Structure formats: structure tokens, C-alpha cells
Amino acid sequence: MNINEQIKKEARASFLLFAICVIWHVGFGWGLNYVPIRFAGIPLWWWVSVPGVFVVALIGVYILLTRVFKNFDLDGEA
């Protein structure tokens, strides 16, 4: 695989993870806004949206690092 193709693949995958995190955060923030459930005085939407997106991001970064990102030399093509 060409270096430029790998860079583009990594950039697309990173942007996809970013989009998933934004959709998760905003979607659950607005979607659960009217649910009256609270834990420790904090609304359910906060628990699902804020710590939830952190967990989604950690899992996504792990997947990116193990399956998408490759170690290659930027000085020249092999």
C-alpha cells in the first residue's frame, strides 16, 4: 500500500471516529434530555453522553491503533 493511501485511510478512520463521538454526545445529550431519571443528582443524559462518549472514544482509539494505523517510515518509500 502506498504511503499516501495509508495516510488517507488513517485520516478517514479518525474522522469517522470523531463523527461517531459527536453524534453519540449530541444525540444522547438531546435525546435523553427529557428523561427524568437521575443518579447521584445528575441527569441520565449526562451519564450516557459525557462518560459514555469517553468510553466510545477509548474503544474507537484502540480499534484504530490495532487495525487501521500502521507504522511506516515517512522518509521514503520501501
pLDDT tens-digit map of 33-71: 999 999 999 999 999 999 999 999 999 999 999 999 988
Residue 73 placed within a domain: no
Question: The whole model's pTM is what?
Answer: 0.86
Identify the H or E element spanning 39.
Answer: strand 38-39
Give Cα 41 to chain centroid, integer Å.
27
Residue 75 placed within a domain: no
State the residue range of the domain holding 64.
3-68
The chain-wide mean pLDDT, for the chain, equals 92
Residue 10 placed within a domain: yes
Residue 74 placed within a domain: no
**What does the block give as the cell for 16?**
469517522
Residue 75 DSSP code? S
Residue 36 placed within a domain: yes
Residue 76 placed within a domain: no
What domain count does the chain have? 1
Cβ count within 10 A of residue 27: 13
